[in-house]
Amino acid sequence: MAVEAEKDSSATDSATLNGIVGAYADPARLNLPEESRLRGSQLVPEEKKAINILTDLGFEYLPSDKAHLTFRRVRDGRSRLISPPKRSIPRAHVSMLLGQLGDRIEDHPLVAGLMISSQGYVELICSRLEPNIAGRAFGLDSDELNCVHKEPANAMPSLPYPWREDDGRESVKRIHLSGRNGGPCVELSNASPLAMLLHGRTTEGGRVRLGSPAPQFLATLKLAFDPGADRDGLARQSEAIARSLIYELNFRNHVIVELDARPAGTDSAVTRWAPEVSGRIRYPRTSLVEEVAIRFGFASQASSDPPQAFLSYYQALEYFVPSALQQSAMEEIRRELRDPGFDDSRATSLLRIIEAAARPVAANEPYQLRIAIKEFIRVSRLEEFFDRNWGNYFTARGPIKDVPHISRNADQNLSDQVADRVYQIRNRIVHAKKDRRYPPALLPRSTEANALMPDVLLVRLLATEAIATGGF
pLDDT in tens, 194-208: 999 998 864 433 333
Task: Specify whether 364 is located in the same domain as 432.
Answer: yes
Task: Specify whether 314 is located in the same domain as 444.
Answer: yes
DSSP calls for 205-267 = T-B-GGGPBPP---EEEEEE--TT--HHHHHHHHHHHHHHHHHHHHHHH----EEPPPP----
Give a yes or no: residue 52 inside a domain: yes
Which among 389, 388, 370, 86 has a CA at the least distance from the CA of 211? 86
Task: Specify whether 319 is located in the same domain as 465.
Answer: yes
Q: At what angle do helices 321-338 and 453-470 cross, to 10 degrees?
A: 50
Give a yes or no: residue 109 inside a domain: yes
Cα 123 to Cα 41, 86, 149, 343: the distances in Å are: 34, 21, 16, 76
Q: What percent of the chain has pLDDT over 90?
A: 43
* 75 — pLDDT class (breaks 50, 70, 90): low
Task: Specify whether 259 is located in the same domain as 292.
Answer: no
Task: Specify whether 90 is located in the same domain as 111.
Answer: no
Which among 174, 172, 169 has a CA at the least distance from the CA of 159? 172
β partners of residue 220: 125, 189
Task: Specify whether 82 is located in the same domain as 152.
Answer: no
Give a yes or no: residue 42 inside a domain: yes
User: Mean pLDDT over all residues of the chain?
Assistant: 81
- The pTM for the full model equals 0.71
Task: Specify whether 96 is located in the same domain as 137.
Answer: no
Which among 389, 387, 378, 380 has a CA at the least distance from the CA of 408? 387
* 98 — pLDDT class (breaks 50, 70, 90): very high
Give the C-alpha separation, 188 to 138, whole Å. 8
Give the C-alpha separation, 194 to 290, whole Å. 49
Helix (H, G, I), strand (E, B) or coil at 174: strand
Task: Specify whether 195 is located in the same domain as 308.
Answer: no
Give a yes or no: residue 206 inside a domain: no
Which pLDDT belongs to residue 96?
Answer: 94
Give a yes or no: residue 368 inside a domain: yes
Give the C-alpha separation, 16 to 459, whole Å. 32
Q: At what angle do helices 365-376 and 306-318 cross, to 10 degrees?
A: 80
CB 59 within 8 A of CB 144: no
Cα 68 to Cα 42, 207, 312: the distances in Å are: 12, 13, 45
Give a yes or no: residue 204 inside a domain: no
Residue 10 has pLDDT above 50, yes or no: no
Query: CB-based contacts of 392: which residues, under 8 Å, 6+ apart?
Result: 267, 398
* 270 — pLDDT class (breaks 50, 70, 90): low
Which H or E run contains 162?
strand 161-162
Residue 344 has pLDDT above 90, yes or no: no
Which among 34, 67, 65, 29 has a CA at the least distance from the CA of 50? 29
Give the C-alpha separation, 444 to 214, whole Å. 31
Which H or E run contains 199?
helix 193-199
Residue 123 has pLDDT above 90, yes or no: yes
Which H or E run contains 337?
helix 321-338
Task: Specify whether 17 is located in the same domain as 137.
Answer: no
Give a yes or no: residue 347 inside a domain: yes
408-424: per-residue pLDDT in tens? 888 889 999 999 999 99
Question: Across residues 360-379, what is the average pLDDT?
Answer: 85
Which among 339, 127, 136, 334 has a CA at the least distance from the CA of 246? 127
Domain count, the chain: 3
Question: Across residues 282-307, what is the average pLDDT?
Answer: 86
Residue 77 has pLDDT above 80, yes or no: no
Which pLDDT belongs to residue 436?
Answer: 74
Task: Specify whether 193 is located in the same domain as 248.
Answer: yes
Out of 67, 84, 102, a domain closes at: 102
Which among 77, 40, 69, 56 has a CA at the least distance from the CA of 7? 56
Comparing 202-211, 213-222, 252-261, 352-361, the range with the smallest average pLDDT is 202-211
Residue 80 has pLDDT above 50, yes or no: no
What is the domain range of residue 322?
A: 268-275+284-470
Comparing 98-112, 203-217, 286-300, the range with the smallest average pLDDT is 203-217
Which pLDDT belongs to residue 201?
Answer: 66
Which pLDDT belongs to residue 360?
Answer: 67
Helix (H, G, I), strand (E, B) or coil at 441: coil
Out of 102, 133, 156, a domain closes at: 102
* 366 — pLDDT class (breaks 50, 70, 90): confident
Residue 18 has pLDDT above 60, yes or no: no
Out of 85, 102, 119, a domain closes at: 102
Which H or E run contains 122?
strand 121-127
Give a yes or no: residue 205 inside a domain: no
Task: Specify whether 234 is located in the same domain as 337.
Answer: no
Which pLDDT belongs to residue 446?
Answer: 85
372-400: per-residue pLDDT in tens? 999 899 999 999 999 988 989 999 999 99
Of residues 332 and 50, the one with the higher pLDDT is 50
Residue 440 has pLDDT above 60, yes or no: yes
Which pLDDT belongs to residue 79?
Answer: 38
Task: Specify whether 113 is located in the same domain as 95.
Answer: no
